[in-house]
């Protein structure tokens, strides 16, 4: 099983009366609540935690893209990924992902992802979300009814830019380019593994199956509520006559909190996770599901937004017990967490879990405590849960001789290969 340490990077200082005083954490949240000097500390703390996850042995470290909100401070996840590519050496860099409908032209995504793959030595996993309506339609100005059509065209252009060896012209409905000839090109050939984050659209299942991409359900409702969506994905595979049931074709995001005991988990983490549900998910329903965004097929299937009006009313009444019993949060001792993670993997049939170890306004020391306990006492029990399935078609393929950031590798890269380390001082003396 693969474990990706994932951080939404929320704003941790929303006021206690945020829900009562403001209608939404997304789109029209007052900029007066943002403090750039405080953000200096917040961003660097979040980057430190992602680097710590690499040191702990998580298979991947992840980030994603959102705009104009207090839910996730990454309008450009590629900036976060670039910092991680230089400061980490082993974990996959999972950018889940770039909202490609909003890029003009979309070749910008092909170029920047190729740069990340080169800098990291082939550690990139590339995500292509359709994007939330709050981001894609209200912040980036895309027309809801055209969003999916434009998404497909943007995807096709990016993939052709990565895989076509010769320059070509692109004459799309939304993008027209006389010369497409990107430099640089990705290390991983024909292209980095692709993950498609989904929130409940039937079309996303078919899109993943058409291209053999990973279907990534990024839910904050937990594994029990997420089962119907993953069941739908696997059922759709069967209906299409696709016999490959490799669990690494699917992934799931889960809020996780580990302590020495179940009681300590509640004492340490409850207030921070409740902050997330009460404030960071306080989205005006009109922003979450505009007319035209969901297709008729998805509406007929009853797959609705996670941010409906009734959900907003429910979130403010949730207790710690509600969150744990519903599976929205997997929390407790290492034994408790491992047992529920085994259930998650089996029930959803997923090979990759995006582990939301930082939630809401959780302070750094608690994040590290939970992450370390998970890495040392939970992950080893789950790593071989799918022994008969190969993850490699949906995982990155790093260069064997890539540069790392340890002191010896950096020193070796700064002098010619035929000059030993103890000979440098002699040369410098001669100069």
Give tens-digit pLDDT for 16-29.
999 999 999 999 99
- Angle, in degrees to the nearest 10, between helices 223-239 and 202-211: 60
The model's confidence at residue 316, banded by pLDDT at 50, 70 and 90, is confident
The model's confidence at residue 338, banded by pLDDT at 50, 70 and 90, is very high
Q: Average pLDDT, stretch 309-335? A: 89
CA-to-CA distance for 180 and 202, rounded, in angstroms? 32
The model's confidence at residue 178, banded by pLDDT at 50, 70 and 90, is very high
Contact 49, 68 (CB under 8 A): no
In this predicted structure, the answer to whether residue 179 has a pLDDT above a threshold of 90 is: yes
* Structure confidence by residue, pLDDT tens digits, 62-81: 999 999 999 999 999 999 99
Contact 369, 356 (CB under 8 A): no
The model's confidence at residue 306, banded by pLDDT at 50, 70 and 90, is low
Q: Give every CB contact of residue 104 below 8 A, 6+ residues apart in sequence.
A: 175
Q: Average pLDDT, stretch 390-406? A: 93
In this predicted structure, the answer to whether residue 202 has a pLDDT above a threshold of 90 is: no
CA-to-CA distance for 429 and 347, rounded, in angstroms? 66
Please tell me what DSSP assigns to residue 234.
H
- Please state, as a whole number, how many other Cβ atoms lie within 10 Å of the Cβ of residue 15: 11
Contact 188, 124 (CB under 8 A): yes
Tokens of 149: 């059509």
Contact 130, 151 (CB under 8 A): yes
Tokens of 78: 């590629």
* Structure confidence by residue, pLDDT tens digits, 126-143: 999 999 999 999 999 999
Tokens of 340: 């529920």
CA-to-CA distance for 415 and 198, rounded, in angstroms? 47
User: Which of 209-242 are b and which e, b meaning 16 or more Cβ less than 10 Å from the residue's Cβ?
Assistant: beeebbbbbbbbbbbbebbebbebbbebbeeeee
In this predicted structure, the answer to whether residue 304 has a pLDDT above a threshold of 70 is: no
Three-state secondary structure readout of 148-195 = HHHHHHHHHHHHHHHHCCCCEEEECCCCEEEEECCCCCCCCCCCCCEE
- CA-closest candidate to residue 71, choices 361, 394, 343: 361
CA-to-CA distance for 23 and 18, rounded, in angstroms? 8
How far apart, in Å, are the Cα atoms of 128 and each of 91, 109, 204, 247? Answer: 20, 10, 11, 20
How far apart, in Å, are the Cα atoms of 298 and each of 137, 207, 284, 345, 431? Answer: 18, 14, 21, 25, 71
pLDDT attached to residue 143: 95
CA-to-CA distance for 201 and 295, rounded, in angstroms? 8
pLDDT attached to residue 376: 98
Alpha-helix residue ranges (DSSP H) falling in 10-106: 18-21, 36-56, 77-87
- Please state, as a whole number, how many other Cβ atoms lie within 10 Å of the Cβ of residue 106: 27
Give me the chain's average pLDDT, please.
Answer: 93
Residues in the chain: 431
CA-to-CA distance for 93 and 396, rounded, in angstroms? 9
DSSP for 346-399, written as a single string: HHHT-SEEEEE-S-TT--HHHHHHHHHHIIIIIHHHHTTSSTT---GGGS----
CA-to-CA distance for 29 and 308, rounded, in angstroms? 18
Among left, alpha and beta (phi > 0; psi -120 to 50; other), residue 56 is alpha
Q: Give every CB contact of residue 158 below 8 A, 6+ residues apart in sequence.
A: 100, 106, 107, 109, 110, 128
SS3 (DSSP) at 30: coil
């Amino acid at each position: 099983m693969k474990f990706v340490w994932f951080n939404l990077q929320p704003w941790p200082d929303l006021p206690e009366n945020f829900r009562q005083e403001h209608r939404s954490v997304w789109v029209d949240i007052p900029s007066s609540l943002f403090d750039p000097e405080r953000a200096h500390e917040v961003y660097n703390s979040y980057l430190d935690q992602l680097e710590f996850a690499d040191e702990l042995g998580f298979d991947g470290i992840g980030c994603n893209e959102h705009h104009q909100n207090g839910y996730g401070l990454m309008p450009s996840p590629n900036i976060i990924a670039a910092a991680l590519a230089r400061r980490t050496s082993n974990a996959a860099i999972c950018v889940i992902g770039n909202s490609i409908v909003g890029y003009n032209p979309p070749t910008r995504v092909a170029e920047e992802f190729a740069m990340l793959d080169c800098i990291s030595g082939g550690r990139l996993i590339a995500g292509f979300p359709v994007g939330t309506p709050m981001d894609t339609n209200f912040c980036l100005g895309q027309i809801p009814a055209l969003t999916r059509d434009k998404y497909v065209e943007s995807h096709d252009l990016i993939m052709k830019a990565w895989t076509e060896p010769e320059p070509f012209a692109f004459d799309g409905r939304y993008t027209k380019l006389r010369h497409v000839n990107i430099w640089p090109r990705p290390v991983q050939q024909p292209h980095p593994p692709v993950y498609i984050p989904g929130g409940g659209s039937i079309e996303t299942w078919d899109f993943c199956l058409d291209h053999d991409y990973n279907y990534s359900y990024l839910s904050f409702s937990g594994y029990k509520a997420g089962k119907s969506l993953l069941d739908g994905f696997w059922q759709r595979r069967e209906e299409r006559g696709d016999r490959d049931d490799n669990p690494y074709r699917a992934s799931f995001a889960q809020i996780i909190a580990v302590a020495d005991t179940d009681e300590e988990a509640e004492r340490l983490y409850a207030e921070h996770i409740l902050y997330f549900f009460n404030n960071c998910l306080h989205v005006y329903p009109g922003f979450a599901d505009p007319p035209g965004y969901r297709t008729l097929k998805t509406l007929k299937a009853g797959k609705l937004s996670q941010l409906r009006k009734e959900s907003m009313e429910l979130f403010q009444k949730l207790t710690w017990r509600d969150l744990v019993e519903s599976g929205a949060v997997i929390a407790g001792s290492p034994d408790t967490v491992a047992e529920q993670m085994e259930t998650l993997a089996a029930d959803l049939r997923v090979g990759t879990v995006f582990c939301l170890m930082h939630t809401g306004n959780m302070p750094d020391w608690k994040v590290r405590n939970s992450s370390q306990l998970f890495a040392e006492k939970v992950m080893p029990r789950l790593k071989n849960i799918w022994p008969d399935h190969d993850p490699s078609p949906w995982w990155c393929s790093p260069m064997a001789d890539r540069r790392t950031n340890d002191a010896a590798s950096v020193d070796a890269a700064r002098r010619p290969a035929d000059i030993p380390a103890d000979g440098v001082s002699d040369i410098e003396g001669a100069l």
